Chain A
């Protein structure tokens, strides 16, 4: 037995005089004067005809709308939307939630239009209360199962995705009749949380950072005087660091594509081979009813690799094409001058590091060599994330545990492309950067001291520099 040996680290961060408030700092809003600065393939992909063709087939597949039967079959029986590109569209395919009135005017929340666009039948489905035309695309989860009396049971954690819509009543869905989950009851009992889409620009770079690089970065941030110490989420299959999703719960883009195809769109595939019931139907019920199975009439899995294909893109499964599209997407291009001018952005970048935001939002990490395309290898990913999960405290906690991440642990949100994003934080609760920053302080959160420094020690004009910097990304 060795006695514990501690170092005690009291730190005082103080400023005795606060300069006069000259103006109030404001979020400059979605950057619109520099065109759309994301959504292009890597330059090395553009220069290789085969890779470019593969990327473009992936883009087409990502944007395609699926139906229950027909040319693009497999939708449902439960689903959140009928196309990857519907949810991932701002400011370009691969991005996040759109909004009709905001640059580049992609359109209203597509989930609010599913009845009007005849994707679901309005006689059998209603639009859930949290889906608003001018709000973000949302995925819903119930942190806890309901008990036999209809109350959420804190001893029965759920956390799985509750698909919003059913194919019931669609002309191509036969006799399959399913109810939507009890969203109103979940709301009344505070047993519902949301997730908004994360953008996938630069995702291939993120996939190609070696664990050793991530661990070294963690070690380099360890000696801070700001109360921060993250950890990593690991996947259960090979035990390496997982990195995708709000809690870094998924290992690879291929796995995410397979999961999203099944969970978001109800299309089984070679990674996730069964049609997916709701979490409760799977755990306590009898699964999906027989007349809701094999609705496409093709057998399972609904998406497969085609042995009769004649080119890379006709052989590859849809999931493989989604993967190709996402891994070849370049990172967003930041602006050096907009908003607020070069001096303000440069100062904001400096302050962002100086006050400790960069202890979690690591400005850049270098990738390992890539066999896929040269642009992914030994490249600098300006992701502004350490890919660690951090305790964010009770205010942001969603009480969903995924892999090693507990109810209040989230992956440091990568900030690349932030300047052209509309909704922030895992549930899209903010559309103003100050709201997102403010949410960083909370009981049990690691970012509380850094947020307090932002709030209390920076002058309004220094805060404005940070906001300009963030919107330049």
Chain B
């Protein structure tokens, strides 16, 4: 009769009160005009100098096997598992800013290294470690030799070849050349690397 009905009404009333309470707790008005209006008194600022909207981002998404761009700088050496590479640095050099994401033409900025602010010993300069995936390259070159040869052929007026292209032997085939300009010398060691076979990221 009446009692069962009353019983079931009570919990209902209780939940209605709770609902009202939650609404007053967030008492600033919901922006009825859409997301261009806010009266929130409790500002929770977004981070500054942060990239939050990336857009298209060329990169492998495999988190198990090492990625080309996945190297790191520690203890005066740049180490990259994907390329089985260790690049030893003079003491006091550091990476102040990490590089851009891999490009859609397969160019990878692996590390950008410069003397630390506290380093008063070494001269000034920067070291850039980069890699080019020859499958995607815009350069008409099929191997390291052609790649570096093409670069030398395209030098601007300000640059000159200081040391001709010479093969050097490493664990992998490598080519050495040195290019100079009015203000810098750019010795470059270009090695062609075929990382160990893995699920191919070219699809």
Contact = CB atoms under 8 A, between A and B. Distances in A.
Interface string A186-198: 1011110000000
Contacts of A188: 43, 45
B125 to A, nearest CB: 3
Contacts of A441: 96-97
B135 A407 contact: no
Contacts of A148: 26, 30-31
B7 interface: no
B201 A4 contact: yes
Interface residues of B, number: 91
A351 B183 CA distance: 9
A149 B68 CA distance: 42
Given A9-B188, A158-B35, A190 B48 contact: yes
Contacts of A13: 125-128, 184-186
Given A6-B192, A190-B47, A225-B188, A406 B123 contact: no
B45 A406 contact: no
Contacts of B49: 394-395, 397, 442
A148 B101 CA distance: 34
Interface residues of A, number: 98
Nearest to B48: A190
B154 A10 contact: no
Contacts of B193: 5-8
A222 B139 contact: yes
A256 B151 CA distance: 39
Interface string B112-147: 101000000001111111111111011100011001
A4 B133 contact: yes
B77 interface: no
A4 B202 contact: yes
B63 interface: no
Interface stretch (B10-18, B50-58, B161-169): B50-58
A162 B46 CA distance: 18
Interface string A425-446: 0000000000000000111111
A152 B48 CA distance: 14
A143 B96 CA distance: 27
B98 A444 contact: yes
Nearest to B193: A6
A444 B99 contact: yes
B127 A10 contact: yes
A12 B97 contact: no
B52 to A, nearest CB: 5
B39 A280 contact: no
A400 B192 contact: no
24 contacts: A4-B194, A6-B193, A6-B195, A7-B131, A7-B144, A8-B129, A8-B190, A8-B191, A13-B125, A14-B127, A14-B185, A144-B35, A146-B40, A151-B40, A181-B37, A222-B138, A229-B100, A282-B34, A283-B35, A399-B53, A407-B53, A445-B100, A448-B97, A456-B126
Interface of B: 26, 28, 30-40, 43-57, 68, 83, 85, 87, 96-101, 103-105, 107, 109, 112, 114, 123-135, 137-139, 143-144, 147-148, 150-151, 154, 156-159, 181-195, 197, 200-202
